């Protein structure tokens, strides 16, 4: 009998021990914070933080482009100096070219020292901003440019603050009818120094 009491006592003690023991840590379980021990050493906690930042290259500064807003044809503009026109490859004229005092001209351009490019003769296939070209009728000129007025060789229309289009007709006609056609177009400055600007 004593033997069975002893066994029951041992079994009860083992059951109590099993209930009060600390369970073994599971794998992959999160670490548990522990209270500081009596030894004076505090447990260290390591916190790792990953920060992801998107780094973009700042935009490169844009080059400042000076746009020439002067009226003209292509790269050739009214008011350009002879030197500017030559540097751009737009004329072969020099100040030694035939002309009058302070002015040089050919069939494409007239340039003065005072005002720069004063006249540009448009190529035959060019078209004005109003859609007029060589071969257009003077009725079309008047429709495209309601401010146009007749002059001795054709019709003239002011464009911008310092320029005119000259739409020339046939020199054989004394008076140009609406059905007559434009044979030459020029852009000219209003302020001119060269008589050749009108040629």
What's residue 196's pLDDT?
A: 73
- Alpha-carbon distance 165 to 168, whole Å? 10
What's residue 71's pLDDT?
A: 87
- Alpha-carbon distance 105 to 38, whole Å? 106
- Alpha-carbon distance 166 to 110, whole Å? 14
Question: Is 160 a residue whose pLDDT tops 50?
Answer: yes
What's residue 60's pLDDT?
A: 66
Asked whether the beta carbons of 182 and 145 are under 8 A apart, the reply is no
Which one is predicted more confidently, 24 or 84?
84
Residues 105-123: tens digit of each pLDDT: 999 999 999 999 999 999 9
What's residue 174's pLDDT?
A: 74
Mean pLDDT of 21-41: 52
What's residue 95's pLDDT?
A: 93
Question: Is 51 a residue whose pLDDT tops 80?
Answer: no
What are the structural domain ranges in the chain? 78-198
Report which secondary-structure segment, H or E, holds 3.
helix 2-20
Question: Is 6 a residue whose pLDDT tops 50?
Answer: no
């Amino acid at each position: 009998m004593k033997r069975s009491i002893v066994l029951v006592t041992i079994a009860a003690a083992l059951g109590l021990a099993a209930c009060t023991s600390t369970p073994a840590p599971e794998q992959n379980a999160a670490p548990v914070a522990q209270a500081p021990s009596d030894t004076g050493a505090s447990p260290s906690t390591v916190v790792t933080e990953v920060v992801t930042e998107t780094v973009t290259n700042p935009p490169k500064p844009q080059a400042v482009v000076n746009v020439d807003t002067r009226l003209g044809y292509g790269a050739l503009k009214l008011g350009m100096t002879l030197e500017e026109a030559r540097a751009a490859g737009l004329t072969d004229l020099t100040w030694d070219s035939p002309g009058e005092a302070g002015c040089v001209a050919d069939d494409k351009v007239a340039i003065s020292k005072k005002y720069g490019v004063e006249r540009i003769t448009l190529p035959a296939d060019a078209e004005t901003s109003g859609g007029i070209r060589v071969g257009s009728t003077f009725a079309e000129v008047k429709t495209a440019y309601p401010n146009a007025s007749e002059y001795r060789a054709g019709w003239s229309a002011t464009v911008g603050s310092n320029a005119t289009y000259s739409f020339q007709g046939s020199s054989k006609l004394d008076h140009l009818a609406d059905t007559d056609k434009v044979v030459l177009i020029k852009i000219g400055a209003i302020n001119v120094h060269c008589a050749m600007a009108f040629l």
